[in-house]
Amino acid sequence: MSFRKFLADKSVNICISLFAWLIIWNFLSAFHIKSWQIFIIGIIYFLADIIKILWEYLRRKKFYTDIISNTENLEKKYLISAMTEPPEFYEGQIFYDVLCETNKSMCDNVAEYRRHSTEFQEYIELWVHEVKLPVASLLLMCHNNPETSEKYSEQLRRIDDCIENVMYYVRSENAEKDYLIKEVSLKRTFNASAVKNREELQQRNISLKAKNLDITVMTDSKWLEYIIGQIIGNSMKYFSPGREPEIDVYAVENEDNVILHIRDNGIGIPAHDLPYIFEKSYTGENGRTHAKSTGMGLYIIKKLCVSLGHEVKAESVQNEFTDISITFGKNDFIKIE
Amino acid sequence: MSKIYIVEDDKSIRTELAELLRNAGYETECLTDFSNSKHHIMESESDLILLDINLPSVNGETLLKEIRRETDTPIIMVTSRVSEIDEVLSMSYGADDYITKPYNPTILLLRISAVLKRSSKENIKTSYRNLQVNTAKGSLSDGNNEIILTKNEMIIFQLLLDRQGQIVSRDDLMTALWDNEEYINDNALTVNISRLRSKLSDFGCENAIETRKKQGYILI
């Protein structure tokens, strides 16, 4: 709080004082009061004024300096009312009360939206479980009536994929629940994903090679299964017509981490798109010119990986390969001996 | 014939599941009255129970715990809840396997058969005609000679043998192979079948595996 600005703010008060003194001075002169007496009265008058202004300034200074520096230092600025002591002067108290009041009202407002969002998320989760029932039922019907099966079950798998995407999007947005990190075999998790995508891989004549997956990592196997499924799904979408499509899956164990590579020999990702592929709704050149893309898949994968504490990276050379790697940290403390 | 008890509240899934299992040669019984589930399940004396988690009036996990207290009949949890937490809970309560809906019917059948074999409620066929099948060694022998089968050939032969006399589709064979981490393609399957045929005919089992056009293979 600057004294100069405070003084400038008080300029009207000072003018009134000066004006009043002019009247008093004229008045006193009219009564033939001696000039040294007028001088003493003047000193008392102005001294009182100066003390008054200084007093006002000092009372306000502490409160306002606090509130300004707190606001600057706080990362979450809305906590300012909790971080500042209530002032001792009246106007300050009014200001402080209003601040607290608006803050509370905003908190209520935010809580309302948070509740809405949680309720919506819960409803989606519930809906996902519900909608899986008719899908499961239809898949069984297809299997029981083999003459219609092939075409229908393919479409059902597509529906199931869409449902999974919704579910994992919701989970990735609100990651504090629904996952459990434990020791998971890469081989088993990859197998579940591969079996799930078998029909599509075979229809497209893609050969799948798995090597060196006999490693366990700390993760949530359901989430990882989804992540691997999505990556394989992308490889299937963007294969190169010029050569035999291949997906190589292998893990590399280092001293402090395990890296799972999923590498395909598809059309690759243009270098100018590569830095942005994990961003929300980013479709890039491939998404426009080749298979249809929503730009959500890799974004969800990234979010899930971040929640699980894994690092996901993409390497690619256009028209040669794409290699998506997931790095799992190693931590012996988590292992139960 | 093994008897499978289905605990599933969705009527349509229940009917289709029962049909699937009957077609695969199992006897089935379904729970329709959920007010006293545990009592009905215990009464049925089945060889395996398929248990859903979301049930009316009782939670599947609680039910699982209660059943486990009284019997060690194999239980496979079949649920639409894709969650590691539910799986770990179910397994710790004593479930033998955990499968999420919508499941691949072939995989479900493979799992059921695996669980039944483990609990030895289903007889493991270890012989074919005059041949002894040694799964651990991966070999066939007629007492004098022994032939080693590759992992793929063994998986194929085992599935055909389990369903001897029934048609096994290429899709089912493929699923079984992939389920065992053998990610082979269509051509490789044909090659594997013909190798298996020639190995069998070395033992004098000519035409053991017949091809049924557009349907699959059958072990005679």
The range of the structural domain enclosing residue A39 comes to: 3-85
Q: What is the pLDDT of residue A175?
A: 62
pLDDT confidence of A219, banded at 50, 70, 90? very high
Residue type present at position B194: S
Specify the pLDDT at position A225. 94
Nearest to A144 among B19, B83, B104 (CB): B19
- Chain B residue numbers with beta carbons less than 8 Å from the beta carbon of A158 are none
A270 domain-assigned: yes
Task: Please name the residue of chain A whose CA is at the shortest distance from the CA of residue B80.
Answer: A129
B87 to chain A: which residues are within 8 Å by CB? 222
CB–CB contact B85 A180 (8 Å): yes
Output the average pLDDT for chain B: 88
pLDDT > 90: what percent of chain B?
A: 38
Report the pLDDT value the prediction gives residue B162, as an integer from 0 to 100. 86
pLDDT (tens digit, 9 = 90+) per residue, B116-127? 988 875 666 678
Sign of the alpha-carbon dihedral angle for B133, B136, B137, B143: negative
pLDDT at residue number A334: 56
Taking a C-beta distance cutoff of 8 angstroms, is the pair A318, A267 a contact? yes
End-of-domain residue from the set A142, A159, A177: A177
Q: Are residues A78 and A133 in the same domain?
A: no
Task: Place A245 in a pLDDT band, splitting at 50, 70 and 90.
Answer: very high
Same domain, A325 and A183: yes
ipTM value? 0.86
Tokens of A109: 């407002």
The residue-averaged pLDDT of B178-184 equals 91
In chain A, % of residues over pLDDT 90: 55
Q: B178 and A134 in contact by Cβ < 8 A?
A: no
Residue A157 belongs to some domain of the structure: yes
Report whether pLDDT(A143) > 90: no
Q: Are B81 and B87 in contact (CB under 8 A)?
A: no
Give the per-residue pLDDT at B140.
87
Q: Are A282 and A141 within one domain?
A: no
Whether the CB of B87 is below 8 Å from some CB of chain A: the reply is yes
Is the pLDDT assigned to residue A291 strictly greater than 80? Answer: no
Q: Is A43 on the interface with B (CB under 8 A)?
A: no
Q: Indicate the residue among A66, A85, A104 that finishes a domain.
A: A85
Interface of B with A in 4-43 (CB under 8 A): 10, 12-13, 16-17, 19-20, 23
Angle (nearest 5°) at CA B103 between B98 and B109: 75
Q: Residue A94 domain-assigned?
A: no
Say if residue A72 is in the same domain as residue A166. no
Domain assignment of residue A90, yes or no: no
Rounded Cα–Cα distance for residues B14 and B10 (Å)? 6
Look at residues A121, A173, A140, A106 and name the one whose alpha carbon lies nearest to residue A307. A173
Give the span between the Cα atoms of A117 and A113, in whole angstroms: 6
Q: Do A325 and A184 share a structural domain?
A: yes
Chain B residues with beta carbon closer than 8 angstroms to that of A141? 16
Shared domain check, A324 and A229: yes
Residue A337 pLDDT grade (very low, low, confident, very high; cuts 50, 70, 90): very low
Residues A166 and A234 in one domain: no
Q: Which residues of A touch B169 (CB under 8 A)?
A: 146
Question: Quick one: A308 and A204 in the same domain?
Answer: yes
Find the residue in A nearest to B169 (Cα).
A146
> How far does the CA of residue A181 sit from the closest CA of chain B (Å)?
9
Q: Is residue A91 part of a domain?
A: no
